[in-house]
Amino acid sequence: MNILLIGSGGREHALAWKISASPLTDTLYCTPGNGGIEPIASCISLDVSNHSAVIDFCHERVIGLVVVGPEAPLVDGIADALNAANIPVFGPSAAAAQLEGSKGFTKDMCARYGIPTAAYGRFTDPDAAKAYIAERGTPIVVKADGLAAGKGVIIAQTDTEADQAIDMMFDGEFGEAGVEVVVEEFMLGEEASFFALADGTTTLALATAQDHKAVGEGDTGPNTGGMGAYSPAPVMTDEMIARVMAEIIEPTAAAMSDMGCTYKGVFFAGLMITGTGPKLIEYNCRFGDPECQVLMMRMTSDIVPLLLAVADGTLSQQSVSWSDNTALTVVLASKGYPGAYSKGSRIENVDDASADENVEIFHAGTKAENGDIIAVGGRVLNVTAQAPSVSQAKDLAYAAISKIDWPEGFCRSDIGWRAINRD
Ligand code: AMP
Ligand code: GLY
């Protein structure tokens, strides 16, 4: 079967790597792709906001499955358009993607269906939001309702900070995303990410991960899209996974169907493991980046039957298997990221660095030019390793990084520290 993958990040390189290894895959197309995807897929240029152009391409190339990597095309309704054209697609409809696209939508669903999450209020008026903050006290969390590239969340320690966050959001700092804000209880606990598939009737647990969002050592400094991740997350015991499926994922799948927006795709649940059990922080309607890289590294079964089963509603016939190893990925980013950075530097010795069979280097912001790898983004490479323990996986990943010659890049040196301290 021919498959079209949409996206250009490290997540998509990891998906492309796994999809292209499947005996079910004939030609894998990727739009737009990146320098690492190019050798394993046919990278093409398509305007994914032009749904009829995507549909025409799928008909021309006899595409049997479209896999959507990022959230924006989903929120924009690409899955609806493909479904209407009878083209199987992995990814939820626009209505179902509200789970990521609107924090208020998700909070209301949790309240209505008894899914554990932080207490909250939704506001379109700054004075009402401030009155709620004064009543609840701090610390408190202020969030822009819509998509804000992971930056629309402020944890306020004082009333003044919280009020400033409210003013900033209503002043348009996050554009449309901030015309409504959610103010919620600050939850204490350990964070973990949980992934599960849903086809509209069946849910299937995938795996767990933890990421490092902050740019600096020891999880300090501004937040990024993620500077590294590992899977599994030690805090997610089998018992905790069973609770998350029973208390959060399955009720969400049922709630979405009940509300008339059946969810088909991957649930990426951001969880807080509190003293009283798992609570939902937020949902994403796609795989995490860089969490996907460690998941793909550990998945030992074929991914294509799973993606197809989600698209055609036959997930109950599927199972998934995982390596017992821990996979860990370290993000190499352009110096300056998440602020301004320059583009165009050459990265050398990547092939040599990934020679070990337990190391894979997934590309994010790269392009291939005359056989060279050129950095063209903020997050650029994801050096991923697997080994029997998290500290061995970390050592292997950093040993690979030491071989890469890229003076214009940097990485954190402590990815995995929380899990390693536990050991
Ligand atoms: P989100 O974009 O909603 O995942 O929030 C970004 C980060 O803010 C999360 O990964 C948590 O570290 C933190 N956070 C969000 N909501 C809460 C909350 N209610 N309590 C504590 N921390 C939170
Ligand atoms: N790494 C977090 C995300 O993909 O949203």
Q: What is the residue-wise DSSP string for 164-194?
A: HHHHHHHTTTTGGGGSSEEEEEPPPSEEEEE
Q: How far apart are CA 364 and CA 8, in angstroms?
A: 7
Q: Is 289 in the pocket of ligand 2 (CB under 6 A)?
A: yes
Please tell me the pTM assigned to this model.
0.95
* Closest to 195 measured CA to CA, from 324, 126, 289: 289
Whether omega before 234 lies within 30 degrees of 0, making that bond cis, reads no
Separation of first and last alpha carbons in the chain: 44
Is the minimum distance from the CB of 291 to ligand 2 under 6 angstroms?
A: yes
Does any ligand 1 atom lie closer than 6 A to the CB of residue 186? Answer: yes
Torsion of the alpha carbons at 200, 197, 285 and 26, rounded to the nearest 10:
-100
Which residue ranges form the domains of the chain, and what is each CATH number?
Answer: 2-93 (3.40.50.20), 125-179 (3.30.1490.20), 190-317 (3.30.470.20), 326-422 (3.90.600.10)
Q: d(Cα 72, Cα 26) in Å, to the nearest integer?
A: 27
Q: What is the pLDDT of residue 149?
A: 64
Which atom of ligand 2 has the smallest separation from the CA of 292?
A: 4
For the four alpha carbons of 296, 299, 303 and 306, in that order, the dihedral sign comes to negative
Cβ burial, residue 320 (10 Å; 0-12/13-18/19+):
middle
Paired sense of beta strands 228-231 and 181-185, if any: unpaired
**Is residue 221 in contact with ligand 1, taking CB distance under 6 Å?**
no
Nearest by Cα to 368 from 34, 32, 45 = 34
Sign for the CA dihedral angle at 332, 335, 340, 344 comes to negative
Q: Identify which ligand lies nearest to the alpha carbon of 153.
A: 1
Q: Is the CB of 153 under 6 A from ligand 1?
A: yes
Centre of ligand 2 from the C-alpha of residue 136, in Å: 29
Find the ligand nearest to 188 CA. Answer: 1
Gap between the Cα atoms of 88 and 170, Å rounded: 40
Q: Which atom of ligand 2 is nearest to the CA of 211?
A: 1
Q: Is 322 in the pocket of ligand 1 (CB under 6 A)?
A: no
pLDDT by residue, tens only, the chain of 423 residues:
999 999 999 999 999 999 999 999 999 999 999 999 999 999 999 999 999 999 999 999 999 999 999 999 999 999 999 999 999 999 999 999 999 988 889 999 999 999 999 999 999 999 999 999 999 999 999 998 877 766 688 999 999 999 999 999 888 777 776 678 999 999 999 999 999 999 999 999 999 999 999 999 999 998 899 999 999 999 999 999 999 999 999 999 999 999 999 999 999 999 999 999 999 999 999 999 999 999 999 999 999 999 999 999 999 999 999 999 999 999 999 999 999 999 999 999 999 999 999 999 999 999 999 999 999 999 999 999 999 999 999 999 999 999 999 999 999 999 999 999 987
Q: How far apart are CA 319 and CA 115, in angstroms?
A: 26
Which ranges of 364-404 does DSSP label H, i.e. alpha helix? 390-403
What pLDDT score does 173 carry? 79
Ligand 2 pocket residue status of 288, Cβ below 6 Å: yes
Q: Select from 12, 74, 211, 230 the residue to mutate for testing ligand 2; criterion: most ligand atoms less than 8 Å from CB.
A: 211
| Beta carbons within 8 Å of 135's beta carbon, 6+ residues apart | none
Query: Is ligand 2 within 6 A of the CB of residue 284?
Result: yes
Assess contact for 361 and 352: CB atoms under 8 A: no
Ligand at minimal distance from the CA of 284 is 2
* Nearest Cα residue to atom 3 of ligand 2: 288
pLDDT of residue 381: 98
Q: Would the CB of 207 count as within 6 Å of ligand 1?
A: no
Does 80 contact ligand 2 (Cβ within 6 A)? Answer: no
Cα dihedral 49→53→55→57 (10° resolution): -120
User: Mutate which of 106, 141, 291 to test ligand 1's pocket (most atoms within 8 Å of Cβ)?
Assistant: 141
H or E, element range at 2: strand 2-7
pLDDT at residue 179, as a whole number: 79
Q: Give the integer Cα–Cα distance in Å for 345 and 407.
A: 9
Which residue type occupies 389?
S
